[in-house]
């Protein structure tokens, strides 16, 4: 099985916890590696803008001498966008419903990120 298919399988398993509308693994510079994204969302734009968001958060945290962020969470009225590092090379990005159980989502994201990191090493 190809790397992309293995990562897509990991994303599909993550989606089974419910409340996840989209997920992607991207490089830290915004290139799409794999995704589980429904129609209506441009995966390439989702990847590029998510990487920009993480880059801006990292720059801000370094500027205030607080180190690199572990994760970035953006909340709106209807959704949450969560980014988590998946090793040095990749980011795991998900879009959840606003009322998604954050603790469970972060726990499962951490497990998935570790798996993705080992696959990409």
How many Cα atoms occupy the beta-carbon half-sphere of 6 within 13 Å? 10
Please report, for the domain that includes residue 31, its CATH number.
3.30.450.30
Distance CA 25, CA 98 (A): 21
State how many domains the chain has: 1
Q: 48-75: buried (b, 16+ CB within 10 Å) or exposed (e) per residue?
A: bebbebbeebbeeeeeeeeeebebbeee
| Domain assignment of residue 64, given as a range | 3-120
The pTM is what? 0.94
Mean pLDDT by 10 residues, the chain (121 residues): 93 93 95 91 94 95 94 96 95 96 96 96 84
What phi, psi does 6 have (nearest 5°)? -60, -40
């Amino acid at each position: 099985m190809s790397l992309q298919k293995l990562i897509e399988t990991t994303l599909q398993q993550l989606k089974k916890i419910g409340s996840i509308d989209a997920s992607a693994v991207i490089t830290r510079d915004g290139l799409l590696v794999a995704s589980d994204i429904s129609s209506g969302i441009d995966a390439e734009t989702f990847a590029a803008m998510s990487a920009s968001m993480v880059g801006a958060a990292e720059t801000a945290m370094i500027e205030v001498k607080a180190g690199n962020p572990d994760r970035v969470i953006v909340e709106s009225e209807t959704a949450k966008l969560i980014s988590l590092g998946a090793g040095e090379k990749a980011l795991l990005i998900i879009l959840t419903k606003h009322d998604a159980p954050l603790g469970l989502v972060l726990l499962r994201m951490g497990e998935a990120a570790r798996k993705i990191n080992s696959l990409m090493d």
